[in-house]
Copies of this chain bind each other. A is one copy, B any other.
Amino acid sequence: MTAGSHGPRLIPGPSVTISDVAEAAGVSRQTVSNVLNAPDRVRAETRERVNRAVSDLGYHPNRAARSLRASSPRMVGCRILPVHAETVASIQDRFLHALAEAGQACDHHVLLFTAPDADEETERCTALWRAGAVSAVVLYDVTPHDPRPRQLEAAGVPFAAFGRTATGAAGYSWADVDNTAGTASAVDHLVAAGHRRIGFLGWPEGSSVGDSRAHGWLAAMDRHGLLAQSHRLDVRGDDTMSSGTRLMVELLDRPGPPTAVVAATDALGVGALHAVRHHGLRPGEDVAVVGFDDTPAAAAVGLSSVRQPIEEVGRLIMAELLRLVGRNADEDVDEAAESLHRLLVPELVVRASSAPPRSAPGG
């Protein structure tokens, strides 16, 4: 690059203001503002002239100024969690993408922040909101005894949650995925394919998500009249692939082994698939396996999996936040009874690991 750097600036600078546009179009600032925000108030001819000036100069209204005047930053805050080694398969990236995409449709953006724990998260949320950096925040992965919703309510910060607490969830807006329905639909699918001895690979009791998924399996087994044998087919361990393999081997070695299993996660499911192959059995034909979360790993190995409708969750949450802060500007609380409380049903993605419907139940 042989310099020549003192030439005229051809690129429009970052600071084209509404006054520049007004001057170029021969009108006042407010007219430009009207063209952009209330076009019907301006004569067609003027409008066109202003629009030309806008695109000629490459004008974009300054967000800070607009936020200041409107006292609405058009921003939504969301904590991004660190990726721990134990986190086998996170769907946080899908969630954040869905949120960003949903926001973009209505000129809102997602602001990321980090926090070491829940308390700090609440604190940061509050600070961001008080500073007018965000008009609302999103809570990701809210668990039954999560302190965050209560804390944010106390601080008066508008929010919506992905997941919900055991108590007090009526007071705030949330969207959640019905884990119970997810494993139940997996059982239904397997029963329809002719399976009757359907096992479950899960985590030890105590986690809400794990318990829901276990319960969905058990309830569906009961519904299909298969409860009697279920206790022999229920094994628990860590949420890892190797654990899945180990548990599956254990099941297959028992008398009256399962012809199909529902795994609480894809990690367990992928592990189970390998155990099946290791036993010289064909996945999907001899033994069917269904996972949970439809992570890329499941797609890669052809594992059927229950997919959470994260994109839908993102859309719902963003829409709800817009409603919340829009309403706030109008009246105060009071109609809080109309909060969002939506339990979404996940969808089973069928792949080779459970694909060929069996006409007759195998021995």
CB atoms of B64 and A80 under 8 A apart: no
Residue of B nearest to A171 (CB): B1
Q: Does A228 contact B (CB under 8 A)?
A: no
CB atoms of A109 and B100 under 8 A apart: no
Q: Does A16 contact B (CB under 8 A)?
A: yes
Q: Does A117 contact B (CB under 8 A)?
A: no
Q: Does A281 contact B (CB under 8 A)?
A: no
Residue of B nearest to A156 (CB): B11
Q: Which of A30-38, A84-92, A190-198, A212-220 contacts B (4 or more CB under 8 A)?
A: A84-92
CB atoms of B67 and A64 under 8 A apart: yes
Compute how far the CA of A123 lies from the CA of B243 in the bound complex, rounded to whole angstroms: 47
Neighbouring B residues of A241 by C-beta, 8 Å: 270, 297, 300-301
Q: Does A71 contact B (CB under 8 A)?
A: yes
CB atoms of B68 and A65 under 8 A apart: yes
Compute how far the CA of A59 lies from the CA of B240 in the bound complex, rounded to whole angstroms: 46
Closest Cβ of chain B to A60, distance in Å, is: 4
Residue of B nearest to A59 (CB): B130
Residue among B90, B299, B333 making CB contact with A5, cutoff 8 Å:
B333
Neighbouring B residues of A301 by C-beta, 8 Å: 240-242
Compute how far the CA of A62 lies from the CA of B89 in the bound complex, rounded to whole angstroms: 38
Q: Does A127 contact B (CB under 8 A)?
A: yes
Residue among B5, B90, B112, B156 making CB contact with A112, cutoff 8 Å:
B112
Write the A6-30 contact mask toward B (1 if CB under 8 angstroms, else 0): 0000011111100000000000000
CB atoms of B97 and A14 under 8 A apart: no
Given known A-B contacts A64-B73, A93-B93, A14 and B83 have beta carbons under 8 A apart: no
CB atoms of B130 and A296 under 8 A apart: no
CB atoms of A83 and B97 under 8 A apart: yes
Q: Count residues of chain A with CB under 8 A from any CB of chain B.
A: 73
Interface residues of A in 288-343 (CB under 8 A from B): 296-297, 299-302, 333-334
Q: Does A129 contact B (CB under 8 A)?
A: yes
CB atoms of A93 and B100 under 8 A apart: no
Write the A128-139 contact mask toward B (1 if CB under 8 angstroms, else 0): 011111000000
Residue among B61, B87, B133 making CB contact with A131, cutoff 8 Å:
B61
Compute how far the CA of A263 lies from the CA of B1 in the bound complex, rounded to whole angstroms: 41
CB atoms of B297 and A60 under 8 A apart: no
Residue among B16, B61, B130, B296 making CB contact with A12, cutoff 8 Å:
B130
Q: Does A42 contact B (CB under 8 A)?
A: no
Interface residues of A in 129-170 (CB under 8 A from B): 129-133, 154-156
Q: Does A224 contact B (CB under 8 A)?
A: no
Neighbouring B residues of A99 by C-beta, 8 Å: 112
CB atoms of B240 and A63 under 8 A apart: no
Neighbouring B residues of A333 by C-beta, 8 Å: 5
CB atoms of A64 and B68 under 8 A apart: yes
Interface residues of A in 89-131 (CB under 8 A from B): 89-90, 92-94, 96-97, 99-101, 104, 109-114, 127, 129-131
Neighbouring B residues of A92 by C-beta, 8 Å: 93
CB atoms of B131 and A62 under 8 A apart: yes
Given known A-B contacts A297-B241, A300-B88, A96 and B111 have beta carbons under 8 A apart: no
For the complex of A and B, the 3 pairs showing the least CB-CB separation, nearest first, are: A64-B67, A60-B131, A11-B156
